[in-house]
């Protein structure tokens, strides 16, 4: 099919397994695009350890400029130094483009045996504030203080994002996750903002759970939750916990959304120990790309890619080792492309 629409997208292959899974995902998107009349102009840039080795910068200026221009990026996993050195690349990009909403759906793929079949959760995490503001200083030698920043503006807009999503997509309830029994001012402000926003959405049920209890409740019965609305740190921890319910970080997508730009990324690490060995699972980045397609209003293409992915998981013959299969990265990608071609013709 001749391309009717072209989307210009910043592409960040990343480090470790990043280039492998990114290549696989691009192949799938290109195949789906040929079926649906959608083309992509990829602006590819290194970031992380590879970029530092090439240019002395973990995030080249050209990458910032590209995202500002395209307003959408697809990002593979990158390596960030632990401890000293450069701040988290993910956090830096979120701050630069004010990507205040971290959106992580947690949903089972067919064919995988998990403890919680049929799970369907959404985690909406504030992405700019809390301890992730990175405001730390040495009080005296041997004593370091980190400042937890919670604002009315940040709490209100992430709450509104969560409730708007619930209304638009027919989700039934939102749980605000907090520790206001201890942090009465900071988490208290967060809850106050959530309660005010909820008044605008009376059709959506609203509850509040303390974060440590939430962890226990999730393990005992995650089905009681629908949308988890969280501050930054709690959301980071709960996202990883919930990913384990559906097979791990290698399967779960992520989106960082702001008013002007959006970055879609796999939430797992760069796994340098298996880099270049054709072992990595592209599923997390591919499902992140599906979120990107929906953001670009390419719903038909998104549905086709998701259907092809789920067909491969249902079939089970071309899965990677992390989910019990024997296929390599490229074989998995080829199987998804073949599943795309087996679908009825696009409209």
CB contact set of 235 (below 8 Å; sequence gap of 6+): 102, 123, 124, 125, 126, 177, 228
> Choosing from 100, 132, 165, 313, which is the catalytic residue?
132
φ, ψ (nearest 5 deg) of residue 308: -65, -45
> Choosing from 23, 107, 179, 196, which is the catalytic residue?
179
> Choosing from 187, 236, 322, 334, which is the catalytic residue?
236
Task: Tell me whether residue 132 is one of the annotated catalytic residues.
Answer: yes
DSSP 8-state code for residue 264: E
Task: Tell me whether residue 226 is one of the annotated catalytic residues.
Answer: no
Handedness of CA 326, 328, 329, 335 (dihedral sign): negative
DSSP string, 271-338: -GGGTTTT----HHHHHHHHHHHHHTT-HHHHHHHHHHHHHHHHH-TT-BGGGT--B-HHHHHHHHHH
> Choosing from 65, 172, 173, 212, which is the catalytic residue?
212
Dist. CA 177–CA 130, nearest whole Å? 13
* Active-site residue set: 132, 179, 212, 236
């Amino acid at each position: 099919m001749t391309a009717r629409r072209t989307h210009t997208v910043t592409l960040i292959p990343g480090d470790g397994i990043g280039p492998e899974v990114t290549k696989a995902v691009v192949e799938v998107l290109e195949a789906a695009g040929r079926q649906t009349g959608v083309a992509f102009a990829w602006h590819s840039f290194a970031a992380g350890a590879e970029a530092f080795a090439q240019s002395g910068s973990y995030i080249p200026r050209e990458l910032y400029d590209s995202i500002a221009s395209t307003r959408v990026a697809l990002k593979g996993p990158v390596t960030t130094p632990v401890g000293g050195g450069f701040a988290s690349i993910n956090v830096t990009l979120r701050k630069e483009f004010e990507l205040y909403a971290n959106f992580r759906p947690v949903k089972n793929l067919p064919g995988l045996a998990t403890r919680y079949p049929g799970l369907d959760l959404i985690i909406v995490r504030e992405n700019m504030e809390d301890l992730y503001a990175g405001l730390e200083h040495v009080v005296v030698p041997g004593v370091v203080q980190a400042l937890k920043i919670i604002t009315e503006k940040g709490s209100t807009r992430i709450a509104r994002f969560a409730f708007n999503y619930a209304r638009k997509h027919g989700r039934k309830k939102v749980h605000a996750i907090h520790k206001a029994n201890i942090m009465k001012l900071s988490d208290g402000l967060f809850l106050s903002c959530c309660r005010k926003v909820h008044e605008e959405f009376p059709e959506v049920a609203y509850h509040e759970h303390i974060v440590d209890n939430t962890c226990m409740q999730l393990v005992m019965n995650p089905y009681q939750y629908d949308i988890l609305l969280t501050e930054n740190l709690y959301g980071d921890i709960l996202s990883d916990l919930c990913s384990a319910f559906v097979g791990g970080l290698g399967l779960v997508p992520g989106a960082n959304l702001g008013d002007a730009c959006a970055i879609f990324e796999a939430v797992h690490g760069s796994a340098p120990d298996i880099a270049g060995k054709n072992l990595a699972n592209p599923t997390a980045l591919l499902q992140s790309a599906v979120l990107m397609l929906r953001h670009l209003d390419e719903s038909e293409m998104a549905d086709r890619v998701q259907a092809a992915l789920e067909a491969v998981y249902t079939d089970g013959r071309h899965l990677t080792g992390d989910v019990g299969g024997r296929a390599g990265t490229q074989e998995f990608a080829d199987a998804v492309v073949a599943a795309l071609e087996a679908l009825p013709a696009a409209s």
